[in-house]
Amino acid sequence: MRGGKIETGQHFEEVIKRFEIPLLQYAGRIIGDREQARDVVQETFIKFQRNGALRRDDQPATWLFTVCRNRALNVCRKERRIMYLDEELIEARDSEQQMPFDQLEQKEATGFLLRIVATLPARQQEVLQLKFQNDLSYQQIADIMKTTANNVGVLLHTALRALRQRYGESARDFIPFKPTTTKRK
């Protein structure tokens, strides 16, 4: 196609600029290492560029997050480092676990909620991040995590319930948000 190369280049640049930081955050949460997350994101973009067959007016989010996730999990496998434990197992671990606030770095103003998020099982963290950082629908998240929209619903529900409960238990001194909305007449 005439002018195709230039257009693709521009589009590609825009895609990088739009998604690099969300992807870096995403890969970072999975791998737990910034440098490796960076490599994974770079590989994702190279693969995206190579896959020129993607139509330019598509929203590339699902594709990018899917590939980024595969690469990140691949790194975890090779490094034999962290794992997405079975959910049941994680739930068991959580029930014995106290809120490890004292273990958390508190002097930086990391979002209070995000610090609670970090105590949740990995897959729950992942759905929260895809939903609330990247504004993806249940179905998109399901596609990325290779599961069903139903299961995404269960994960999110469980995660939000846990957040709500822990927030209530431990947040008496913090008021990052009002948990109820106001009704107007």
Burial of 171 (C-beta count, 10 Å sphere; 0-12/13-18/19+): middle
Nearest distance in Å: CB 9, other proteins? 5
Over the range 3-17, which residues count as b (16 or more CB within 10 Å of their CB) and which as e?
Answer: eeeeeeeeebeebbe
**Cβ closer to other proteins: 80 or 172?**
80
Q: Which helix (H) or strand (E) holds 169?
A: helix 149-170
CB of 24 to other proteins, least distance (A): 7
